[in-house]
Amino acid sequence: MNLYKTLVRPLLFSLDAETAHHLAVEGCRWMGVLPGVTNVMQRCLESHDPMLKTDVAGLQFDNPIGLAAGWDKNGRALRMLDALGFGFVEIGSVSARESKGNPKPRLFRLPQDSAVIVNYGLPNDGAEIVSTRLGSHRGRLPLGVNIVKTNDSANAPACSGEQILSDYEFSTRQLHPHADYLMFNLSCPNAQGGKSFFSEPANVGRLLERLAPLPIQSPVFLKIAPNDDPVHLERLLTQCERFDFVRGFCFNLPSQKPPLSVAPEHLIDKPGAVAGRPVAALINDCISELYRRMDRDRYIVIGAGGVFTAQDAYDKIRLGASLVQVYTSMIYEGPSVVKHICTGLADLLKRDGFQHVSEAVGSAHS
């Protein structure tokens, strides 16, 4: 019996989506400090198949399935998240200054599409507070920290390019000592300012130049808008060539809503980007196109978007993703989804004659 689906989810879904999200994070935080709870969860939810262990960008992962940024925005529940079977956890997005995000309501469920509409607008405690919190964390898993430009209110003056770059630099100085990897969010579809700035690849180069003198020891990944245009991808890769610390990419949610089963008139009061099953095909196309063009000895792809099953994860891996992240499936399936994906993924690898998950990366292109 899946206790999450039969007991926990009905209770959470009786609340508005953001309240339920907040309670889930705080529940994890409190459970993480109770004696013995994390040990029990580890025994129940961890997968230990050696086929799934993988080394990526100098980091070791027990399995390639991670938690995407956005679930634990401020690193409050890391002790419990370490025990839920993930291969890695990414927190954030975190900005230089505290941000309240967009006006509520800003999170909406679409159960018939196995999706949510996200319009949070990057609320977070700010880099200094999150840095202090991470300073006391001693985790078991690789920890990613997602860094983004502060989302000022819609009425705030437009930021200059220099202000945007300074915002990222400040956060990086605060947070890089606590991260096993850094993810620079250059394309949040629900924030003011930074998204349009980084749509020009030359400005990505400006940011990397700004970061180059910093003593960053961890690999850096760039979270970019979903774009499978070959010319755009080539321009982006050209900007990254000079900066050895850039080790890969992840695609963000599309700013435009994909086709949904919900009638358009029911979406008028639900602004934001769609996360979940409806975006999987678009993200997969982007992963495939980027994998064809990038230097595979240097870069990796982290695949996120619509991962609910082992087959979903396997599809992204075969198209070129070395690591895969979940988010929406945690809402609908609960934490056991990670173990189910890992178990099924090992079965799929064996079925297709692979000895190790790394052998399957990009195999759809062979």
User: What would the pLDDT profile of 43-77 be if each residue is shown by its tens digit?
Assistant: 999 989 999 999 999 999 999 999 999 999 999 99
Domain CATH for 95: 3.20.20.70
Residue 300, phi then psi, degrees to nearest 5:
-130, 165
Average pLDDT rounded to a whole number, residues 198-203: 95
Q: pLDDT band at residue 153, thresholds of 50, 70 and 90?
A: low
- What is the model's pLDDT at position 195? 60
- What is the model's pLDDT at position 306? 98
User: What would the pLDDT profile of 70-106 be if each residue is shown by its tens digit?
Assistant: 999 999 999 999 999 999 999 999 999 999 999 999 9
- What is the model's pLDDT at position 154? 66
> What is the rounded distance in angstroms from the CA atom of residue 212 to the CA atom of residue 216?
8
Residue type, 256: Q
Q: Which residues of 175-213 are buried (b: 16+ CB within 10 A; e: fewer)?
A: bbebbbbbbbbbbbbbbbbbbebbeebebbbbbbebbee
Q: Is 298 exposed, middle or buried (0-12, 13-18, 19+ CB in 10 A)?
A: middle
> What is the rounded distance in angstroms from the CA atom of residue 197 to the CA atom of residue 27?
37
- What is the model's pLDDT at position 188? 78
What's the mean per-residue pLDDT of the chain?
96
Helices (H), ranges, the chain: 3, 9-13, 17-33, 37-45, 78-81, 127-135, 161-175, 194-197, 201-211, 230-240, 280-293, 310-319, 328-333, 336-351, 357-360
Enter the pTM of the model.
0.96
> What is the rounded distance in angstroms from the CA atom of residue 46 to the CA atom of residue 336?
9
- What is the model's pLDDT at position 196? 82
Average pLDDT rounded to a whole number, residues 125-149: 97
User: What would the pLDDT profile of 229-277 be if each residue is shown by its tens digit?
Assistant: 999 999 999 999 999 999 999 999 999 999 999 999 999 999 999 999 9
Q: pLDDT band at residue 219, thresholds of 50, 70 and 90?
A: very high
Average pLDDT rounded to a whole number, residues 146-173: 89
pLDDT at 1 over 80: no
pLDDT at 193 over 60: no
Average pLDDT rounded to a whole number, residues 337-343: 98
Average pLDDT rounded to a whole number, residues 272-298: 98
- Identify the weakest region by mean pLDDT among 108-122, 162-176, 191-205, 264-278: 191-205
pLDDT at 36 over 80: yes
- What is the model's pLDDT at position 3? 86
Average pLDDT rounded to a whole number, residues 268-293: 97
With CA atoms as reference, report the closest residue to 194 among 288, 281, 122.
122
> Using an 8 Å Cβ cutoff, are 90 and 75 in contact?
no
164: domain range?
3-365
What is the tally of structural domains in the chain?
Answer: 1
Q: pLDDT band at residue 157, thresholds of 50, 70 and 90?
A: low
pLDDT at 29 over 60: yes
